[in-house]
């Protein structure tokens, strides 16, 4: 068997195992659900804050610079 066929077979078997899992018959308590919700909210918040940090603060600085440059020209004639 060549390596490409082996890789395909491993991927195929893994896909079949993931698509048709067996029952675990295990109890998942409320703490796991709360933890999952917390992780999802944390990821959403971090993505939102990254967008704010990348786009909003430089834009805010640019607007402040534009407003500040207009005031400096008015004060220069006094």
Q: What is the model's pLDDT at position 12?
A: 92
Distance (Å, whole) CA 17 – CA 10: 11
User: Would you call 24 exposed, middle or buried from its count of C-beta atoms within 10 A (0-12, 13-18, 19+)?
Assistant: exposed
For residue 2, give the DSSP letter. Answer: -
Q: What is the pTM of this model?
A: 0.47
Average pLDDT over residues 59-72: 81
Rounded alpha-carbon distances, angstroms, from residue 13 to 4, 5, 56: 14, 12, 46
pLDDT, one tens digit per residue, over 6-47 is 899 999 999 998 888 787 777 878 898 899 999 999 999 999
| pLDDT-derived band at 57, boundaries 50, 70, 90 | confident
**Helical segments of the chain, H only:** 3-19, 30-51, 57-76
Q: What is the model's pLDDT at position 4?
A: 85
Q: Residue ranges of the domains in the chain?
A: 45-71
Distance (Å, whole) CA 34 – CA 30: 6
Is the pLDDT at 77 greater than 90? The verdict is: no
């Amino acid at each position: 068997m060549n390596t490409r066929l082996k890789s395909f077979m491993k991927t195929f078997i893994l896909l079949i195992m993931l698509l048709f899992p067996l029952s675990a018959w295990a109890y998942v308590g409320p703490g796991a659900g709360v933890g999952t919700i917390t992780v999802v909210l944390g990821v959403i918040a971090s993505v939102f804050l990254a967008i704010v940090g990348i786009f909003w603060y430089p834009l805010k600085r640019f607007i402040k610079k534009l407003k500040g440059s207009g005031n400096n020209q008015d004060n220069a004639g006094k």
